[in-house]
Structure 1
């Protein structure tokens, strides 16, 4: 009887240990500074803040990259590391140091960003570029609609000084609409 009790305790202890390891793995906190540089860009920390890749140069002139936590808070997402599928579908680069709205001027980039594979399935990246476009006075859903119907005209309108005025009065969608 004592040996069956020992066996039961050993089995119980082993199972509880596996459960603790599984829960610890599942509840792993995402901290930007702990992420490898290869997954930093387009990730969101447990705090809800975006991660960004920063470049610095040592005294020896060697470039070093580090993952840092930005002050930009993403409303509905936490603990998110962007998938390779979304990075490819949206045409973004994980090695991006800083992200600019200038890429919205490139027809190829806008085409990928506005494609169903990106726009409908990658809300993190779409939200990021939605906010970048809004900072330029451009409403991304309208830009995508124009891009689908006439890609060259969409890029030209974005470059023109009147583009910001055309899109500035449009209502902003909620992040859940992505």
Structure 2
């Protein structure tokens, strides 16, 4: 398991919690989490954690390397770019706009 378990140093450097039950792509919307993930001590030294977040980003239509580059180049604009250029912009699953857009059609009446 040593090849699959991240070191304690990486867990601290990347700001993740080894005791967490699940993982969410919400981390991509948190500026502090992005700064931590993109920091060299995490991004360059902790491949397992970066690979996991890379795949989460792909699932949301976002490139983690591009997001990190934006964060380094324009640290105050990264969240705006992410929200305006990806599928994350639709809002959380509980939002009213999401429910209107993706709610199922009513069942047909049998009478």
Q: TM-score, normalised by structure 1?
A: 0.46
Which blocks of at least 5 consecutive residues in structure 2 are unaligned? Answer: 88-111
Q: Alignment partner of 1:81: what SS?
A: coil
Match of 1:135 among 59, 68, 82: 59
Which blocks of at least 5 consecutive residues in structure 1 are unaligned? Answer: 1-29, 31-77, 165-178
Taking the aligned partners of 1:116 and 1:79, their CA distance within structure 2 comes to 20
Taking the aligned partners of 1:100 and 1:158, their CA distance within structure 2 comes to 16
Structure with the higher fraction of residues in strand conformation: 1
- Whether contact under 8 Å (1:138, 1:163) holds in the other structure is yes
Match of 1:155 among 57, 79, 93: 79
Match of 1:83 in 2: 7
Taking the aligned partners of 2:75 and 2:52, their CA distance within structure 1 comes to 21
Q: Given the alignment of the two structures, is residue 119 of structure 1 paired with residue 24 of structure 2, yes or no?
A: no
Task: Give the number of the structure whose alpha-carbon radius of gyration is greater.
Answer: 1
Match of 2:30 among 106, 109, 119: 106
Taking the aligned partners of 2:18 and 2:50, their CA distance within structure 1 comes to 15
| CA-based RMSD | 1.5
Residue deviations 1:18-61, cap 9 Å, x none? xxxxxxxxxxxx4xxxxxxxxxxxxxxxxxxxxxxxxxxxxxxx
Higher relative contact order (CA 8 A, sep 6+): 2
Q: Which runs of 4+ in 1 moved over 3 A?
A: none
Q: TM-score, normalised by structure 2?
A: 0.72
Q: Alignment partner of 1:151: what SS?
A: coil
Across the two proteins, how many residue pairs are aligned to each other? 87
Structure with the higher fraction of residues in helix conformation: 2
- Whether contact under 8 Å (1:107, 1:152) holds in the other structure is no
